[in-house]
Structure 1
Amino acid sequence: MSKAVVVVPTYNEIENIERLLRTIFSLQREFHVLVVDDNSPDGTAAVVTANFEKYENKLFLLNRPQKCGLGTAYIAGFKWALENNYDYIFEMDADFSHNPNDLIRLYNACQKDGNDLAIGSRYVTGVNVVNWPMSRVLLSWLASKYVRFVMGMKVYDTTAGFICYKRNVLQKINLDNIRFVGYAFQIEMKFKAHISKFKIKEVPVIFTDRTKGESKMSSGIISEAIFGVIAMKFKSAFNRKKFNESSFN
């Protein structure tokens, strides 16, 4: 059995999901895939199910009754991965904005180099983003700079969603107490790993905006990221132990 599983949340990703699965399962290192689908009306889950026989004991599906937010989808996937005894747990988008070939580089950063958390980073070596309008690049880059300053983290891409976690990181973080569901979810997870003194490594990657399907970005998600960090910072400052104590083993 593979020790590594890739958690992929989906909502209306029928144009991407089969190609993504084919690409991941063709990598030289073996990865399993858990698709967490929020009842996509376009039939994404049916495509995954149709591939069960082809990728027997490698491909899994977690069906959720409705769209409940990216953060909750990842948390559901992380809990499933812990319960099924995976040692390396990844998160990535379904739309090829994250290059599946970089999964191996993130895995090696944890398994070979001894890091607890490896982040596929757009900004650690400059700005490595393709097909975004300049306004969105600036918004994302400035948001990460802002979060880095406010939270005191030595992480350049604080909202990155392409990550490898070692099992012990997700066991330590109290997944039931994660508050945010959008970009701020990514910040909260990194911040909790940071204050727990886990070893974090940023691996430079090229982020390419989706060419198929529709973006899930919204102004509410951006606002959550910008204003939510202040609440996180104050909460952790006043009661750090309670902020990061674990209840999931």
Structure 2
Amino acid sequence: MTAGDLSTTLGRVVVVIPTYDEVANIAWIVERLRRAEPAVDVLVVDDNSPDGTGAVADRLAAADPQVNVLHRTGKGGLGAAYLAGFAWALQAGYDVIGEMDADGSHQPEQLHRLLDALQEADLVIGSRWIPGGSVVNWPLRRSALSRGGNLYVRLLLGIHVRDATAGFRVFRRAALEKIDLGSVQSTGYVFQTDLVTRCIRHGLTVREVPIEFVERVRGESKMSGQVAVESLRRITEWGVRERLEQARRRQAHRAEA
């Protein structure tokens, strides 16, 4: 898809990039994104990074009218940063709103794959775990953890998506409006699973396209064992609640019969 195609078929597109202590990466990733997709705008959502990421983002915005910065008062979690960015983008009238990490693990040069697929979908996910997808520089243990976590999500929540935890995505505006972002309470990495599950529950079309995920080479990862455990705990709660609700509906149906 070319820059001209974007304006005629998808409308205005913005990619939200949340940051916390990404001073080594933010200018690099924004430059790559602007070069790869000149028609796409950028919103950096910075959680008051102590390393000066926000100031670098402000300089990028001052030099490029298609780059914007939203400053938050502190580190509130990935999901909270995205919710703030989504609210800003919806208010600004964007038709397509994307997600991308600041550390280079999501390659801007592959964004066109997601945008192409959005022609026939409401949400498109850049997936590591479908045919054609891959991960670079991950140890076997981390790959196994990600694959296992996504299998757990599919089995427990009953959804078909193979990479529900992925953070390289594009949404149609109507999808975000339909899933009631105001009721989203997940603020950490489980936010990604939360939103794709909401989309499926609302009957929206979700597609996955293969990407090459590259482990960061600069800066520190925000993922930790504690974060992973908390995500699994929340997913388990959702799954149990869903199973109980399904049982309640079956019992009510039998009573009516």
Question: TM-score, normalization: structure 2?
Answer: 0.88
Q: Which runs of 5+ in 2 are unaligned?
A: 1-6, 247-257
1:47-126 to structure 2, matched below 5 A, reads 47-56=56-65, 58-110=66-118, 112=119, 114-125=120-131
Gaps of 5+ in 1: 241-249
1:221 paired with 2:227, answer: yes
Which of the pair is proportionally richer in helix?
A: 2
Question: Is 1:150 aligned with 2:143?
Answer: no
| Change beyond 3 A, Cα 1:49–1:68 | same
Answering whether residue 26 of structure 2 is matched by residue 17 of structure 1, we say yes
**1: CA distance, partners of 2:187 / 2:129:** 22
Q: 8 Å contact 2:157–2:242 — kept in the other structure?
A: no
Taking the aligned partners of 1:109 and 1:209, their CA distance within structure 2 comes to 24
Larger Rg: 2
Structure 1 outlier segments of 4+, above 2 Å: 233-240
> C-alpha displacement at 1:232, in angstroms?
1.6
Q: Does structure 1 residue 35 correspond to structure 2 residue 32? A: no
Aligned to 1:26: 35
| SS of corresponding position for 2:198 | helix
Check the 8 A contact 1:90/1:163 in 2, yes or no: yes
CA RMSD of aligned residues (A): 1.7
- 1:29, 1:104 within 8 Å by CA — same for their partners in 2? no
Q: In the alignment, is the contact (CA less than 8 A) between 2:79 and 2:186 conserved in 1?
A: yes
Task: Quote the residue 1:175 is aligned against.
Answer: 181
TM-score (structure 1 length as normaliser): 0.90
1:127 Cα deviation after fit: 6.0
2-structure distance, mates of 1:92, 1:80? 16
Counterpart position of 1:244: none
Partners in 2 of 1:4 and 1:124 — Cα distance?
Answer: 25
SS at match of 2:190: helix
Q: How many residues align?
A: 237
